[in-house]
Amino acid sequence: MIWQVGDGRSINFWYDAWVPFLGEVLPIKHWVEHINHEIVFVQDVMKPGGEWDESLLDFLPRPLLSAIMDIKTIPSNPDKIILCAIHQESLCIRTNAVDFMVYEWLHMCLSIKKPPDINNLCSPMLLCAIMDAIWQARNNKRFNGVTASQHSILQHAYRVCQYWIVAFTEPDYGNEESEIGEGAHLSSDQKWVKPPPS
């Protein structure tokens, strides 16, 4: 996920992911050593018509500056988050926290005993599971009048991720400790059919 620049008012210049650069979509803070505190939002380096003010960006390394200058702004529209397939393992969450870790956040929200295994739980899978859980919660509220908490939505998404992992992992019947996360075992009425090889 990446911010698409509109008027630049909602995107934190330093800590939001909005510049595709070197095959990554990372916050600018990742690429520079020092922060210019006079710049806070992307809007701060834009001219009134939406063009980039290169004189305010000349402190950046030239390749990064060129990457920003190549971004087309839409000054008549607000900024928005869009899906981006540049880097398969990137999941960006809007936050003011400087050192925000997605998996630590998930661990805290779910109150699970051990942190998720980041080698198995990839960001695109987690994103899809969260979106699916939100959609199901929305339908459940609309058609059944049942309101789900944010905590229960995240729990559902995490459980679905664990089911996906189990479905595509060969079981180790000789090791009782080989469980892949809490609640990862499929119940007896659930069966998974692997897709044919591509």
Instruction: Tell me the residue range of the domain where 68 lies.
Output: 1-92
- Indicate whether 155 and 174 sit together in one domain: yes
Domain boundary among 70, 92, 114: 92
Q: Which residues are CB-neighbours of 20 under 8 A, at least 6 positions away?
A: 2, 67, 84, 86
Note whether 88 and 113 are same-domain residues.
no
What pLDDT score does 91 carry? 47
Q: Are residues 44 and 118 in the same domain?
A: no
Let me know whether 9 and 82 are in one domain. Answer: yes
130 and 83 belong to one structural domain: no
Check whether residue 53 and residue 112 sit in a common domain. no
d(CA 41, CA 94): 14
Q: Which residue has the higher pLDDT, 95 or 101?
A: 101
Q: pLDDT tens for residues 135-163?
A: 999 998 889 999 988 878 888 888 888 88
**Position 179 pLDDT exceeds 50:** no
Is there a single domain that holds both residue 82 and residue 106?
no
Which of 164, 102, 108 has its CA nearest to residue 133? Answer: 164
What pLDDT is stored for residue 36 in this prediction? Answer: 83
Record the pTM. Answer: 0.43
Per-residue pLDDT tens digits for 96-108: 445 555 556 666 6
Phi, psi of 197 (to 5 degrees): -60, 145
24/66 same-domain check = yes
Out of 93-97, 143-147, 187-191, the most confident range is: 143-147
Q: Residue 52 pairs with which residues in a beta bridge?
A: 46
- Give yes or no: residues 36 and 83 share one domain: yes
Q: Structural domain tally of the chain?
A: 2
Q: Per DSSP, which regions of the chain are E strands? A: 2-4, 20-21, 24-25, 80-82
Residue 20 contacts residue 85 (beta carbons within 8 Å): no
Instruction: Choose one of 92, 110, 132: the last residue of a domain.
Output: 92
